[in-house]
Structure 1
Amino acid sequence: MILSSLPSAGLWLSGATALVYAATALGAGAAGAGRAQRWLALAWLLHAWTLVLGLLEAPPRFGFAPALSMTAWLVLTVYVVESQIYPQLQARWPLAALGALTVLLPLAFPGAPLHPSASAWLPLHWALGLAAYGLLGAAVVHAALMSRAERLMRIGGGAPVGLPLLTLERITFRFVEAGFVLLTATLAAGFLFGEQIYGTSLARWKWDHKTVFSLLAWLTYAVLLAARARLGWRGRRAVQMIYAGAVFLLLGYAGSRFVLEVILRRSP
């Protein structure tokens, strides 16, 4: 979530990364699975290099676009690792398209410089939040694949993801559970150590848009996991809850920062 404005080398690297992502997305169907996987892995590595360059620049910056870029990279990290276990999993082209878009966003919206007096705990708090974003983003991708496979099965088509539906559902909820744990840790850190991180205390926890939407996301996933454990929720209802929680998360940080930075042109 912390990125600086990229130098000229970073500009070229971001452009090259977007081109490799775009080539992967456009050629995912025509290229063989192995070749497409290698191209996606290359784009993923270039994307990581872009993020590292941003982190090493001074002064560091943060905003909605760097947050989305890092989140997309984390989702791709999950996919790159998972595809080694399940090589038949097919989600390369939408993820490559997502990577191409998000790697370019920080060029136009680099965010605001990090204040020199910012707490040393702030990067840890953001790291927890980004990890939660990444895992829950991976859950959204798997939920979409699960919905598509279920829909094609109902009309008599083959499942395009190459995994049994129950296996895909089990993987999806593992990501939801892991993301929920990290989201809980992120909110707990903000609540318990808000004074050190943001200069706020427990008695006056900052009830802004980010806090409200993040809590709504937490409640959504808490209800989903509890209902799945006790009532056996699955299928379309569970997928809709996963999507709803992701929307709340998106509005919580990226959405509110977008409004401040782009629409209102204010530094948070």
Structure 2
Amino acid sequence: MILASPSPLGVALGIATALAYGSTAAAASRLDRKASQILLGLAWLLHAATLIHGLATGHARFGFAPALSVTAWLVLTVYAVESRMYPHLNVRRVLALMGGAAVLLALVFPGSPLHVSASPWLPLHLALGIASYGLFAAAVIHAWLMGRAETQMRQATAPEGGLPLLTLERLTFRFVTGGFVLLTATLVAGLLFSEQLYGTSVRAWKWDHKSVFSVLAWLTFGVLLIGRARFGWRGRAATRVLYAGSLLLLLAYVGSRFVLEVILHRTIA
């Protein structure tokens, strides 16, 4: 899901963005924190320019790869804000690799145009869904950092100055909570206003693969939040539930669109 255009300028911006991300990942271990952050910031700006160019063209295109591209940019935006408060959050190489891969995928699989009968409100509905993807992706990265920190503590190899486990855990569940709220809004809008959003040719609600996986993901995240609030779930048990819910959510849109676009070669928006 992205407002993007496969124009020559859009392709050039995408290639420049991927190169900037690749350079950041390759040089991350040789540069100091400030220099690598500058490189990552440049890649982030190029990524933003690619998305803005798509908005300026006015041709809405949607697909699994553009959805991953926007999600990666949102995660990097979260990191840009968060690194100001927590300078020891060192995941620049991982984020650069993720961003570069997502941009390249969006160049190869740019998605399909939005149906002409769709409502002007549809981009807002899709934006809610993408924002929930971004927040859950940020939660997954923090959960991974939390697991890595736990392993390092057990092996007595934890670096000095790293983020405390409790801080990582608190950040993880803040992102889960925010993503759950946005996912709930997305599902409610799809349940109640599908015909208005997608056009009268679309049924109000249908239990296709996307709907089933989305609801399963929503239930999984709801169970996770209830389990944490009522039973104090934390650590590996909580992160496993988070990973399961995130996988279901990934299958909901990205997985179903991948099957339609790449395997079945269908271009339904």
Q: What is the TM-score when the length of structure 2 is the normalising length? A: 0.95
Check whether the contact 2:118–2:199 (CA below 8 A) recurs between aligned residues.
no
Cα shift at 1:230: 0.7
Q: Which residue of 2 aligns with 1:78?
A: 78
C-alpha offsets along residues 27-75 of structure 1, whole Å, 9 cap, x if unaligned? 1111101111111111111000011112222532111111110011001
**Aligned-pair CA distance for 1:160:** 7.8
C-alpha contact (below 8 Å) 2:20/2:43 kept by paired residues: yes
2:206 is matched with which residue?
206
SS of the equivalent of 2:157 reads coil
Q: Which residue of 2 aligns with 1:139?
A: 139
Distance 1:7 1:34 in 2: 34
- SS in structure 1 of the partner of residue 213 of structure 2: helix
Amino acid at match of 2:231: L
Aligned equivalents of 2:218 and 2:161: distance in 1? 29
Alpha carbons of structure 1 residues 200 and 217: separation in structure 2 relative to 1, 3 Å: farther
List 4+ stretches of structure 1 deviating above 4 A. Answer: none
Give how far 1:204 is off: 5.4
**Structure 1 residue identity aligned to 2:107:** L
Identity of aligned residues (%): 63
Name the CA shift for 1:213/1:200 in 2 (closer, same or farther; >3 Å).
Answer: farther
- Of the structure 1 ranges 20-29 and 256-265, higher mean CA displacement relative to structure 2 is found in 20-29
Conservation of the 8 A alpha-carbon contact between 1:71 and 1:137: yes
Partner of 2:250: 250
- What is residue 197 of structure 2 aligned with on the other side? 197
Shift, 1:105, TM fit: 1.4
Distance 1:2 1:36 in 2: 28
Paired residues of 2:194 and 2:204 also in contact (CA < 8 A): no
Which structure 2 residues correspond to residues 147-166 of structure 1 after superposition, within 5 A? 147-159=147-159, 162-166=162-166
Cα distance in 2, alignment partners of residues 90 and 244 from structure 1: 25
**In 2: Cα distance, 1:93 partner to 1:75 partner:** 13
How many residues matched?
A: 267
Contact 2:210/2:256 (<8 A) preserved: yes
What pairs with 1:63-74 in structure 2 (closer than 5 Å)? 63-74=63-74
Match of 1:27 in 2: 27
SS in 1 for 2:48: helix
Q: Contact 2:191/2:204 (CA < 8 Å) preserved in 1?
A: no
Segments of 5+ residues of structure 2 without an aligned counterpart are: none
SS in structure 1 of the partner of residue 30 of structure 2: coil
Aligned match of 1:183: 183
Q: Give the CA deviation at 1:159.
A: 4.7
Residues in 2 aligned to 1:45 and 1:148: alpha-carbon distance in whole angstroms: 29
Contact 1:22 1:100 in 2 (8 A): yes
Question: Partner of 1:2: helix, strand, or coil?
Answer: coil
Unaligned runs of 5+ in 1: none
CA gap of 1:258–1:163, structure 2 versus 1, over 3 A, is same
Alignment correspondent of 1:95 = 95
Q: Give the Cα–Cα distance (whole angstroms) in 2 for the partners of residues 214 and 161 of structure 1.
A: 38
Over aligned residues, Cα RMSD in angstroms?
1.7
Residues 247/200 of structure 1: CA separation in 2 closer, same or farther (3 Å cut)? farther
